[in-house]
Amino acid sequence: MGKYRYELRVNEPKKKTVIFRIDIEQTKQIELQIAKDSIKIAAELSKRLAPEDILAKSRVFPKALKQAMLLHLVMYSKPIKVHSYYLTSGENTVIRAESQESPYIYSLITNKLLRGTGEGWNCAPVLQGIAACESSRLIASLSAYLMSKSKTNVTERFLYLWMAMNGLYGHYAVTFKACKGNNDAHMQNIFVKLYGFEHFPDSAVADRLRSKADKVIYRNQECFAESLRMNKAELTEDFIHFLGTDAENIDPYWYYLIRQSYSYRCRIFHANYQLKLLSKAEESEIVVLRALSNVIESFLDRNLTKWFDSTFVEKEIKPRADGTEPSPLPVF
């Protein structure tokens, strides 16, 4: 069966590009060339297509384009503003200029990211891992994480950070089971094993502590995020005070990261709660939600990138699945 070469280029090609080769379904060695504000995708398909049908009638090119735009966002912390795109089939090329009123290709993130992705993202092994990633949960987690970086609205930012966390621990649960691990029915309990937390509170304890946790954060709002990054002693004392002796083994930051984020997801995004459109100046719920977002984002900055390193599952997940239990990974 013959092969036909097709190309999609977004904007004018640049000389300095980074090249990735990926497989999508049965199509092998698809070439992605990424440069600042420019993308080129080339693939050989067994199906004959006219240039204008490359995006409309191919399953490969739309998926490759999404992957390329995701890589561009990670590499340059900004989306591509599409001015034109080129569709090439053999010797035939169709050039289309994007209409501002009804563009065919565009990014849902419209401006440069407001917050950086942290160290470790823009390196060859991680970028190649993103390009080659076949886990829909992990790609969804990364996409939501990047979308959160473009938001200033407190509830919008938290929504995407929660989606990123949800996708990450869901992917961990599936990976842990694939490594022959004992897949606990509660994905949160599986996730906690990877990051070294000691104890997960039962729902009765969690319900009693929920409002107290918020009061601790609200009282320490000015130093909360910085204390997580630098010196946790002061906040830890506050947490221990309200956790009490019956729950002394609960890591307060684990509790806040997972239990409180789930609580807020339920309180804010269920349809029987009014969406927050207006807030009094720095009311407690907004302050706490912002602090919670800072915690989740800090966690993802340091830990999500590891999952795109091809050696991570072999070094960390498989040993945990077979009971070897390596030392815990850093969390914040």
pLDDT tens across 246-278, in order?
A: 444 445 555 566 666 767 777 777 767 777 777
Token pair 């100046």 is found at: 281
3-class DSSP state of 92: strand
Residues 275 and 186 reside in one and the same domain: yes
How many Å apart are CA 229 and CA 238, to the nearest integer?
17
The residue from 76, 97, 118 where one domain ends is 97
140 and 274 within one domain: yes
Q: Is residue 127 part of a domain?
A: no
Residue 332 clears pLDDT 50, i.e. is over it: no
Name which residue leads in pLDDT, 107 or 242: 107
Task: Specify if 119 maps to a domain.
Answer: no
Q: How far apart are CA 84 and CA 249, in angstroms?
A: 58
Residue 303 counted as domain residue:
yes
Give the DSSP H or E segment for 34: strand 27-35
The pLDDT score that the predictor gives to residue 243 is: 45
Nearest by Cα to 45 from 93, 1, 91, 79: 1
Same-domain status, 142 and 255: yes
Please tell me the total count of domains within the chain.
Answer: 2
Contacts of 53 (CB under 8 A, 6+ apart): none
Between 270 and 76, where is the model more confident?
Answer: 76
> At 242, is the pLDDT very low, low, confident or very high (cuts 50, 70, 90)?
very low
How do residues 289-309 score in pLDDT, each as one tens digit?
887 788 788 778 878 898 898
Q: Is 83 in the same domain as 178?
A: no
Q: What is the mean pLDDT of residues 315-331?
A: 59
Strand partners, 31: 21, 42
Where do the H-state alpha helices sit in the chain?
A: 60-76, 124-132, 136-148, 154-178, 187-194, 203-219, 224-229, 233-243, 252-254, 261-269, 284-303, 312, 318-321
**CA dihedral over 141, 147, 151, 153, signed as positive or negative:** negative
Are 90 and 239 in a shared domain? no
Whether 156 and 284 share a structural domain: yes
How far is residue 46 CA from its own chain's centroid?
A: 34
**For the chain, what's the residue count?**
332
The answer to whether position 104 is within a domain reads: no
Per-residue pLDDT at 200: 45
Q: Give the per-residue pLDDT at 165.
A: 84
DSSP tag of 317: I
Give me the domain span that covers residue 45. Answer: 4-97
The answer as to whether 174 is a domain residue is: yes
Give the dihedral sign, CA 117/120/123/128: negative
Q: 189 and 289: one domain? A: yes
pLDDT of 328 higher than 50: no
Q: Which pLDDT value is given to residue 178?
A: 78
Please give the pLDDT value at position 76: 93
- Beta pairing class for 27-35 and 38-45: antiparallel
Determine contact, residues 288/215, Cβ cutoff 8 Å. no
Residue 237 confidence (pLDDT): 56
Same domain? 174 vs 305? yes
Beta-ladder partners of 251: none
Average pLDDT, the chain: 77
Q: Is the pLDDT of residue 35 over 70?
A: yes
Q: What is the pLDDT of residues 135-189, one digit of tens each?
A: 999 999 999 999 999 999 888 999 999 889 888 877 877 787 777 765 544 445 5
Q: Tell which of 71, 97, 123 closes a domain.
A: 97
Q: Is residue 28 part of a domain?
A: yes
Predicted model pTM? 0.80
6-20, 83-97, 159-173, 179-193 — which is least confidently predicted? 179-193
84 and 142 in a single domain? The answer is: no
Give yes or no for residue 86 having a pLDDT over 90. Answer: yes
Residue 43, in any domain of the structure: yes
Last residue of a domain, one of 97, 121, 150: 97
**Same structural domain for residues 92 and 139?**
no
